Amino acid sequence: MNRVPTALLALHYQNDVLHPDGLIRVGIADDEVRRTVIEHASTLLTEARRRDGVIGHVRIAFRPDDGE
């Protein structure tokens, strides 16, 4: 039986979103929640790499004038 390729899409794991001093910091105001998100993301990414999975990273970005 052939294995079906699996991809992991990692959205917005960047300092501007997850770091306490990040510029965007939307949706994660609580430091304990932020640590939990980072720990789970790390576990998920580590396991995907161990299984030779395809990982796509998506970065959120805005224009300097926040025109979006």
Q: What is the pLDDT, as a whole number, of residue 25?
A: 65
Which residue's entry shows tokens 């997850």? 18
pLDDT in tens, 12-51: 888 877 887 877 766 677 788 888 888 999 999 999 999 8
Q: What is the pLDDT, as a whole number, of residue 66?
A: 75
> How many Å apart are CA 32 and CA 36, to the nearest integer?
6
Q: What is the pLDDT, as a whole number, of residue 39?
A: 93
> How many Å apart are CA 2 and CA 30, to the nearest integer?
43
Q: Is the dihedral of CA 16, 41, 45, 20 positive or negative?
A: positive
Per the model's pLDDT, the better-predicted residue between 9 and 31 turns out to be 9
- Which residue in 50, 59, 48 sits closest to 22, CA to CA? 59
Report if pTM > 0.85.
no
Query: Domain residues of the chain, as ranges?
Result: 7-58
